Amino acid sequence: MYNHKEIEKKWQSFWETNKTFKTTNIHNKKAYILDMFPYPSGAGLHVGHLEGYTATDIISRYKRLQGYDVLHPIGWDAFGLPAEQYALKTGNNPNEFTIKNIDNFRRQLKSLGFSYDYDKEINTTDPKYYYWTQWIFKEFYKAGLASIESIDVNWCEGLGTVLANEEVVEVDGIRVSERGHFPVVKKPMDQWVLKITKYANELLDGLKEVNWPNSVVQLQKNWIGKSAGYNVFWKIKNSTTTITTYTTRLDTIYGVSAIILSPEHPLVSKITTSTFRSLVNKYISQMKLKTDLERTNPSKEKTGVFTGSYVTHPLTKKDIPIWISEYILKSYGSGAIMAVPAHDERDYKFARKYNLEINSIIETNEPLPYVGDGKHINSDIANKLLNNDASEKIFEALSKLRQARKSVNYKLHDWVFSRQRYWGEPFPVIYDENNNIYLVKELVELPKINNIKPSNDGKGPLANVKEWTRFKIGKQYFSHDTNVMPQWAGSSWYYLAYILKNDDGTYLPLDSEEAKKRFEQWLPVDLYIGGQEHAVLHLLYARFWHRFLFDKGLVPTKEPFMKLINQGLILGTDGQKMSKSLGNVINPDEYVESHGADALRTYEMFMGPLVDSKSWNVDSLDGIRRWLDRVYNQISYFIQPQNQDPLLESNELESEINKLIVDVEENLSQYKFNVIISKMMVFINFLTTLEKINTLSALKKFVVMFSLFAPHLAEELLFLMHEKPLDQQIWPYADKQKIIAKNPVIGIQVNGKVRGEIEILPNWKEIDVLNNAKAINSVSKWLEGKKIIKEIYKEGKIISFITN
Ligand code: ANZ
């Protein structure tokens, strides 16, 4: 048994003093390998972090051995709500405990032997860092992409703050905050808004360039929600006003039986006739209390009122009544629709309730509403056509009348960027007494205050700070913004910050020539590993900021992250997601102590495919630790001179090691780390069949590959072999010529259980395979006295016998 405590400590301090993992800049190929940086919570690192971090560490080490310059950094996403809530609960200052938490995280990462360049370490709460977060914000402002708007925001009374749509979830049909599940209501407020919708198309297009899991691409596509349709302009009867509706089903225009506006539509007051005014006003005030979710919930009955006005159908010239209804959202499309009850679920229900006409214009035997495609009927110029052709034909006719235009809409909303909180980046702006905005050139530092309770008028804690809300420059009074930026601000550009970080702790100016050169060298990120929970929020925001910086000519690529992998969840021993309340959380410190970092790393990679969910199992961890001991013992044995014989023929060992190199490379390219460990186990098993070997060279190659998983033990073995340390080693070359082609050996099953194996000779036919298989002792005893009712031979895979 090797002494993991001694060995791991020894090599960790060796790496630290030698700056083994310092980012190099000497080769002509680079690899930027990125982890989703952690939020440094008080609980410390959990085994889920460790899974992704081990995977990127493996690839980083592999690339270094292959002669790449590797950038593999880590940092801290340290602003955010949990720290603020903890501070409120305990009265501790987030400035202080954040530093403590970070120290603890760093200690843990180092105890696991991850090959980070700690000179590149960043912290989003460091004023030197967030000066640049503020700088990017100012650039957005200058470009007209950041502005203050009075908008309906998601107001969360429980958290005392506004939330982004992305931070609101639905539980039992009620909108609640993602954190804490407090109710969320709509409320108009002055807020900073970043105009991500201006980038909707670019963000959609960019998805074609990246090599991401399909599920994430799909989630982002749906979030952006591109819809290509038509605006139709309807002339109001006895008026010069027109109403614009948005539709994706222009083909159904002959089936229209009402125009419906959202209750908030600006034309409502203008078109409502005196007879209907009081009903309409009453309806509008009722709707103010409802959320969008309630209003669009398909299981709830839809209400509405008639306005008293009509439009003229542009093709049939018939009168069409104008209604208002809750299910039309003001913020989508044009805030008004043409209702086609026969072919739309919601319109159908609405028409039934209010006795509107239901005119089918598609030939079908199915019950209405029929939403599928089909031959058009009762549609004059579009009769007999299918949907697309009908739409085109109708569009042509309406274009001539100047009553239709093609239009693209997105579900994506602009990003509400203000938070009524303390623990975030302050806005780099000040206001004069007339509320004029001035950008602040210098850093606007977050004041270190003790009372971080929100002020009770819906403003953030900074509203309680006198010097913050009123100060003098010259003769004029000014105030700061009492909001701070959201959690996601600092993480929207952190992968650029690593590149800009200098050894002395400063950052290269993001807009400098020098920065440009460094970006040219390192971007894009070649591999990014992290949890699936960031599929939309972080990954969409970072892409938005990056694309903006690209448009400004500051970064050389359109997309920041080329290859993305979502690691699977590591579940507790009970198969449940780890949580404090279930008491099934695994603390890595404990296992580093008992089994060693190498065992923990290797175990996590052996648990199963990287992207799958896997349950923790201490027995398998024990097994991996025993395997590492075997590796150590077996190689130590051959290191002893009496177990080496230079005259010995080594064809088989050469074959095995070269085969292993090929297998390892192939599986590395597919991130199949668990398969690699199995192959290494087979190799070690093979070694145990040898008494002596001729040289250590094959074993050295093994140890270099093994170092990806168990770097400490690998360094120690190289040292015992009198070899140079890992940073002076290179990735072994696979000499395929030396691989001896072998006959395949496959398993034999009887009634579903494996009872033996057999080597398949090249000249055998299927009948020979089966007969020889039956004759094998371990198999024949299960067939004795039984009748074989089925025999199966799957070439290269398995032989199977079923008996009665
Ligand atoms: C007529 C029609 C006929 C429609 C039919 C559908 C089926 P996507 O694909 O999601 O973009 N719509 C337009 N604006 C709306 C708003 N502000 N609030 C609620 N609904 C709105 O959906 C586009 C369809 O959603 C549009 O096409 C419109 O209804 C509705 F057989 O117009 B359709």
Structure confidence at residue 173 (pLDDT): 66
* 177, β-bridge pairs: 168
Residues flagged as binding site for ATP: 580
- Ligand 1 atom, smallest distance to 296 CA: 19
Using an 8 Å Cβ cutoff, are 529 and 56 in contact?
A: yes
With the most atoms of ligand 1 within 8 angstroms of its CB, the residue from 249, 264, 324, 378 to mutate is 249
Using an 8 Å Cβ cutoff, are 233 and 311 in contact?
A: no
Instruction: Look at ligand 1, atom 33, and give the residue with the nearest C-alpha.
Output: 247
Q: Rounded to the nearest whole angstrom, what is the distance from the C-alpha of residue 699 to the centroid of ligand 1? A: 67
Q: What are the percentages of helix, strand and coil residues in the chain, rounded to 5? A: 40, 20, 40
Whether residue 227 has its Cβ less than 6 Å from ligand 1 = yes
CATH code for the domain defined by 617-738: 1.10.730.10
Q: Rounded to the nearest whole angstrom, what is the distance from the C-alpha of residue 154 to the centroid of ligand 1? A: 24
Q: Rounded to the nearest whole angstrom, what is the distance from the C-alpha of residue 237 to the centroid of ligand 1? A: 23
Whether residue 344 has its Cβ less than 6 Å from ligand 1 = yes
Structure confidence at residue 163 (pLDDT): 80
Q: Which two tokens stand for residue 787?
A: 């009748």
- Ligand 1 atom, smallest distance to 343 CA: 31
Residue type, 637: Y
- Ligand 1 atom, smallest distance to 409 CA: 11
Q: Rounded to the nearest whole angstrom, what is the distance from the C-alpha of residue 248 to the centroid of ligand 1? A: 6
Query: Measuring CA to CA, how many Å separate 673 from each of 56, 530, 597, 602, 669?
Result: 11, 16, 17, 9, 10
Helix 94-111, helix 81-90: angle, nearest 10 = 120
Residue type, 428: P
Whether residue 297 has its Cβ less than 6 Å from ligand 1 = no
The tally of CA atoms less than 13 A away on the side-chain side of residue 4 is 20
Return the H-helix or E-strand segment holding 223: helix 214-224
Instruction: Look at ligand 1, atom 9, and give the residue with the nearest C-alpha.
Output: 227
With the most atoms of ligand 1 within 8 angstroms of its CB, the residue from 232, 247, 323 to mutate is 247
CATH 3.90.740.10 residue ranges for the chain: 226-410
What DSSP designation does 366 have?
Answer: S
Structure confidence at residue 43 (pLDDT): 87
Q: Rounded to the nearest whole angstrom, what is the distance from the C-alpha of residue 331 to the centroid of ligand 1? A: 13
Q: Rounded to the nearest whole angstrom, what is the distance from the C-alpha of residue 328 to the centroid of ligand 1? A: 9
Whether residue 337 has its Cβ less than 6 Å from ligand 1 = yes
Instruction: Look at ligand 1, atom 10, and give the residue with the nearest C-alpha.
Output: 227
CATH of 745-803, one of 3.40.50.2000, 3.40.50.970, 3.10.20.600, 3.10.20.590: 3.10.20.590
The whole-number mean pLDDT for each consecutive block of 10 residues of the chain, a chain of 804 residues, reads: 97 97 94 97 90 98 98 97 85 90 97 98 98 98 96 82 79 82 84 96 97 97 96 96 97 98 96 97 84 75 95 98 95 95 96 97 96 96 97 98 97 92 96 96 94 76 93 96 95 98 95 97 98 92 98 98 96 89 89 98 97 95 98 98 94 96 97 97 96 96 98 98 97 96 90 93 92 93 92 91 92
Structure confidence at residue 732 (pLDDT): 98
Q: Rounded to the nearest whole angstrom, what is the distance from the C-alpha of residue 136 to the centroid of ligand 1? A: 37
Compute and round to an integer the Cα radius of gyration of the chain: 34
Instruction: Look at ligand 1, atom 11, and give the residue with the nearest C-alpha.
Output: 227
Instruction: Look at ligand 1, atom 31, and give the residue with the nearest C-alpha.
Output: 343
- Ligand 1 atom, smallest distance to 330 CA: 17
CATH 3.10.20.590 residue ranges for the chain: 745-803
- DSSP assignment of 281-315 equals HHHHHHHTTS-HHHHH-TTSPP-EEEEEEEEE-TT
Using an 8 Å Cβ cutoff, are 326 and 295 in contact?
A: yes
CATH 1.10.730.10 residue ranges for the chain: 617-738
Whether residue 246 has its Cβ less than 6 Å from ligand 1 = yes
Instruction: Look at ligand 1, atom 26, and give the residue with the nearest C-alpha.
Output: 247
Measure the CA–CA gap between 196 and 545, rounded to whole angstroms.
9
Whether residue 369 has its Cβ less than 6 Å from ligand 1 = no
Structure confidence at residue 150 (pLDDT): 87
Measure the CA–CA gap between 494 and 485, rounded to whole angstroms.
15
Whether residue 335 has its Cβ less than 6 Å from ligand 1 = yes
What DSSP designation does 723 have?
Answer: P
Q: Rounded to the nearest whole angstrom, what is the distance from the C-alpha of residue 388 to the centroid of ligand 1? A: 16
Q: Whole-angstrom distance between the N-terminal and C-terminal Cα of the chain?
A: 49
Using an 8 Å Cβ cutoff, are 421 and 461 in contact?
A: yes
Q: Rounded to the nearest whole angstrom, what is the distance from the C-alpha of residue 320 to the centroid of ligand 1? A: 18
Instruction: Look at ligand 1, atom 27, and give the residue with the nearest C-alpha.
Output: 247
Whether residue 261 has its Cβ less than 6 Å from ligand 1 = no
Instruction: Look at ligand 1, atom 12, and give the residue with the nearest C-alpha.
Output: 337
With the most atoms of ligand 1 within 8 angstroms of its CB, the residue from 290, 337, 340 to mutate is 337
Measure the CA–CA gap between 363 and 377, rounded to whole angstroms.
6
Instruction: Look at ligand 1, atom 13, and give the residue with the nearest C-alpha.
Output: 246
Measure the CA–CA gap between 90 and 109, rounded to whole angstroms.
27
- Ligand 1 atom, smallest distance to 227 CA: 11
Q: Rounded to the nearest whole angstrom, what is the distance from the C-alpha of residue 478 to the centroid of ligand 1? A: 47
Residue 130, C-beta contacts closer than 8 angstroms, at least 6 positions apart: 124, 425, 443, 490
Whether residue 343 has its Cβ less than 6 Å from ligand 1 = yes
Residue 794, C-beta contacts closer than 8 angstroms, at least 6 positions apart: 800
Q: Rounded to the nearest whole angstrom, what is the distance from the C-alpha of residue 1 to the centroid of ligand 1? A: 69
CATH class of 226-410: alpha beta
The tally of CA atoms less than 13 A away on the side-chain side of residue 654 is 12
Q: Rounded to the nearest whole angstrom, what is the distance from the C-alpha of residue 346 to the centroid of ligand 1? A: 10
- Ligand 1 atom, smallest distance to 328 CA: 18
Residues flagged as binding site: 580
Q: Which two tokens stand for residue 29?
A: 């190929």
Q: Rounded to the nearest whole angstrom, what is the distance from the C-alpha of residue 164 to the centroid of ligand 1? A: 25
Measure the CA–CA gap between 484 and 591, rounded to whole angstroms.
40
* 278, β-bridge pairs: none
Q: Rounded to the nearest whole angstrom, what is the distance from the C-alpha of residue 650 to the centroid of ligand 1? A: 73
Whether residue 249 has its Cβ less than 6 Å from ligand 1 = yes
Instruction: Look at ligand 1, atom 22, and give the residue with the nearest C-alpha.
Output: 248
The tally of CA atoms less than 13 A away on the side-chain side of residue 292 is 16
Whether residue 338 has its Cβ less than 6 Å from ligand 1 = yes
Q: What is the pTM of this model?
A: 0.87
Instruction: Look at ligand 1, atom 2, and give the residue with the nearest C-alpha.
Output: 249
The tally of CA atoms less than 13 A away on the side-chain side of residue 339 is 30
Return the H-helix or E-strand segment holding 529: strand 527-530
Measure the CA–CA gap between 708 and 437, rounded to whole angstroms.
54
Using an 8 Å Cβ cutoff, are 252 and 316 in contact?
A: no
Which residue is listed with tokens 């997105």?
Answer: 410
With the most atoms of ligand 1 within 8 angstroms of its CB, the residue from 344, 347, 411 to mutate is 344
Whether residue 296 has its Cβ less than 6 Å from ligand 1 = no
Phi, psi (deg, nearest 5) at residue 437: -95, 135
Long-range CB pairs of 432-440, under 8 A, 24+ apart, other chains included: 432/476, 432/477, 432/478, 433/476, 433/477, 433/478, 437/148, 438/478, 439/138, 439/141, 439/142
Instruction: Look at ligand 1, atom 19, and give the residue with the nearest C-alpha.
Output: 328
Residue type, 686: F
